[in-house]
Amino acid sequence: MICLFTVAWLLFFAGGALAAVPVVTVNTLDSVPVASREEYVFMSFALTDSANPRNNIAANADMAGRIRGRGNNSWRDFRANKKSYRVKFKSKTSLFGLEAAKDWVLLAQHRDETLLYNAVAFELGRRFGLPFNHSFNFVDLYINGEYRGIYLLTEHNQVGSGRVAIERKGGWFAELDEYYDKEPRFRTGNYGLPVMIKSPKGGKAWQEGENPAHIQVKSDFNALADALASPDFPESGYREMVDIGTFIDFLLINELAANTDLSHPRSVFLYKDRGGLISMGPLWDFDSGYGWSYRNWMESGFNDHFNHPERRPPVHPFFGRFYEDPAFAAAYRERWNGMYDTIASIPAFIDEMAGRLSGPAERNFDRWWYKTYAPFTDTRPAQPNVFGDAVVRLKNWYAARVYYLNALFGGGGDIVPEIKVPLVQSGGTNEVYLQALPQGKTVFADTLPAVAAAPEVVRKRRGFFGFLAFWRR
């Protein structure tokens, strides 16, 4: 996937700055609306890329393709009007030079005021070298002649060439998600992880005894959870079960983006190839990162972004346990320092992407901003989104975030984050109530740590963040 991503990147950016993004045109049979996550409707699909006509795809006249809704929050929440979609072609189809496949995703990014949250995370994954990483191509989407806004077109999470390229026989691919709404599924004995098996496939009426491959997935997850919970941890054998490198990179990128989905968990993927180790990836769903606040949204009905770059978001105790292994902590810190220059270069990537999206973004937010999430009260008037201002806020937040984390990891601070644990499992529902419990760990202050905490590292790299001196006052 990484090599193909590079091809798509070159194709997309060839020819200098673009005045527009490619256009995807979907027309459904008899103009039936796409109104469900469960039911596909037949469609024609066309892709027009004026900058790179080699990417163009003519509409299929036979209406043999299909489209339906996808995702959880954008379809479960009545306030989210901009929806995400899953596209299924009749035969394998290449988009933007990527490896041909039947299934593709159009992400709405309905609460992201920069449209860049996922792209930044996917770009970090590419630069870190995670084995299976999503590409990203921004498109203007029209459905039945109606403009739907800018969407991020990317691969569907599945096993296959150009996706999670593992052996179907003997390997597995699974998702941790508190929604816990797809079969086959199970919860681990320790930590209560909500595991949904993506591959190998299983029927809706899955029973443990019906598929030996599913039993192996359950055995692998429980063995790891038991090893982490063992009184012998960290010398409990867990290190021999996992690809530590993918765990470190996955958690570090989520930490950098302050993605709170790790506290539930939601949209967290793991895989194991035949004869291999349990690994993390691909990265997915960063709409709850970059300081976006559920709490403020629930209280006010307004999207609040870029809060507290100097805080470490809570994690589920399953992930928190890794940080308590001194060997893992040392490798985590070493990886941060080794990738620091790459991490610090992301604001330039944000600038580049924002420059290419500026005109299309204005059209997107003319349609959607603050219509996406209607306020609960009328006490505050809806405010239009100013894309350029949002991008500046993202860059400032990211720079402050790197400055803060570098003082911790570069300076040898405590890397153990706050841990949240399931308190009550509601009977008959998938909702998990969370409560922060004392862990005997450092409680990080609301202010950036003093530079003196790591004089050599911070002072050496201060030039990149010099503009923060005024911002932090």
**Per residue in 225-260, pLDDT tens?**
999 999 999 999 999 999 999 999 999 999 999 998
pLDDT, tens only, 302-361: 445 667 777 777 789 999 999 999 999 999 999 999 999 999 999 999 999 999 999 999
Q: What is the pLDDT of residue 256?
A: 94
Q: pLDDT tens digits for 110-145?
A: 888 899 999 999 999 999 999 999 999 999 999 999
Percent of the chain topping pLDDT 90? 59
Give residue 139's pLDDT. 98
Q: pLDDT higher for 106 or 367?
A: 106
- Quick: pLDDT tens for 174-194: 999 999 989 999 999 999 999
- What pLDDT sits at residue 471? 31
The pLDDT of residue 371? 41
* 365 has a pLDDT exceeding 80: yes
Whole-model pTM?
A: 0.81
pLDDT digits (tens, 9 = 90+) for 49-84: 999 999 999 998 889 999 999 987 777 665 678 899
Please determine, for residue 460, whether its predicted confidence score (pLDDT) is greater than 50.
no
Reported as a single tens digit per residue, the pLDDT across 2-17 is 444 433 443 333 333 3
pLDDT of amino acid 307: 72
pLDDT score, position 364: 92
* pLDDT score for 367: 86
pLDDT digits (tens, 9 = 90+) for 385-406: 678 888 998 999 899 899 889 9
Summarize the confidence of residues 28-40 as an average pLDDT: 95
Res. 201 pLDDT band, cuts 50 70 90: confident
Q: Please, which pLDDT band fits residue 425 given cuts at 50, 70 and 90? A: very low
Mean pLDDT score of the chain, rounded to an integer?
80
The contacts of residue 393 (CB under 8 Å, 6+ apart) are: 305, 306
pLDDT in tens, 259-316: 989 989 999 999 999 999 999 999 999 998 998 765 544 344 444 566 777 777 778 9
Predicted confidence at residue 427, as pLDDT, reads 32
> Is the bond leading into 131 cis (omega within 30 degrees of zero)?
no
What is the predicted pLDDT for the residue at 212? 83
> Which pLDDT score is estimated for 385?
65
Residue 430, pLDDT > 50, answer: no
Judged against a pLDDT cut of 60, whether residue 438 lies above it is answered with no
Q: Distance (Å, rounded) from C-alpha 363 to C-alpha 141?
A: 12
Q: For residue range 150-172, list pLDDT tens digits in order.
A: 999 999 999 999 999 999 999 99
Give me 336's structure tokens: 């941060």
- Residue 456: the pLDDT is 29
* pLDDT computed for residue 437 by the predictor: 23
